[in-house]
Each structure stands twice: as structure tokens, then as C-alpha cells.
Amino acid sequence: MIVPINKPVGWSSFDVVKKVRKITGEKKVGHGGTLDPFAKGVLVIGIGRDSTRQLSYFSNSTKKYEAKLKLGSETDTLDLTGKIINEMNIPLIRKQNIKSIFSEFTGYQKQIPPMFSAKKIKGVRLYKLARQKKTVQREPIQVFIKLLELIDYSSNSINFLVSCSKGTYVRQLGSDIAKKIGTVGHLTELHRIQA
């Protein structure tokens, strides 16, 4: 059985898997694409051996998110759960500037995975190294941004919609957008609305 679950903020993807195992009594339970604990939204769950084998279809699919980017401060995790490591002034931003910057991020591009991520380097998850205050060289990975659309903005935040390929870190995208604007930033909200 394949089930879409609306993951709440504060739960890890594995927390949801554990809860489903407990409710169903089924040992073979998996998910089709990790969602950070600070994020909420669609998490595809497979229950049973046959269903968990089908999860790669969902994890490889295009996903859509709504995100809120706070400008002027950067955290070590690139989201609101981290410690502020950098602050910068925010230049005056205009709608046309944001749209122009967004157009630079659509299509194929290389993205360096953030240190606070579940990606493995030599068998060790990056976030485990990051918690030990270690930084390692990460190879850029190719991602595809199908759609990047402005929802609204203020003098210090930008709300956007993004449709992207597997392996895209929306936190990293937010940080990269802030840098293009001429400041730093981190995500305060992330909502997966489609998988």
C-alpha cells in the first residue's frame, strides 16, 4: 500500500515511518524522499514489501515546495533550526530583480549539498560530520529546477514556489538566491505540496 502522509513540523521522516510501523504492525515500511524535520507536507509512505520496492519511483519524481526565505542572516543549517553564523545588510529589492535572479536558477545547474544533509560521504552522513564541527569537500551534483516562481516578498523575506528534481536542496537554493541578491539568508518555512 502506498500512502501520502501530511508530515507535521518537528517530525523526521523516520519518525513517520516508525509511527506507521506501530499503527499497522508491518515491519517493511519506507518513505519516498526525506523531508527535513523543520519542513511539513507530503511524505509518500510504502507499507509492505511490494510497496517499499515501488518507492524509488516517488523518490526520483519531481517535487513541488513552497518556501519562505529570511534575508539578512545565515545559519549553519541554512534553516531556522541552526545557529546564526553570518549577518549582512539587505539591499533594496524589487520584484523585477527577484524575477531576474529566479530566471538564472531555472533549468539544469550544479548544486553543492549542504553540510547539514543526509547525503553520505565515504559512508558517513554529512550532518554527523557537521555536528562534530567538521567540514568536508562535497562534489556538486546536477539538479533540475523546473519552475521557480515568486509568491510575495517584503524588505527582508521572499516567499517562493519551486518545482525541482530529486536531490535538490531547497535550503541551499534559498541560500544561493540570497547571495545573488547581495546578502545572506536561511529558510524559515518549507512546505512540500506535491510529490
Q: Which residues carry out catalysis?
A: 36
Cα angle value 188/193/195 (rounded, 5°): 125
* Tally of residues, the chain: 195
First to last CA, the chain: 16
Q: Which residues of 107-117 are buried (b: 16+ CB within 10 A; e: fewer)?
A: eebebebbbbb
Question: Can you tell me the distance from the alpha carbon of 157 to that of 162, in angstroms, rounded to the nearest whole number?
Answer: 16
Contact 30, 16 (CB under 8 A): no
Residue 131's φ and ψ, nearest 5 degrees, are -65, -25
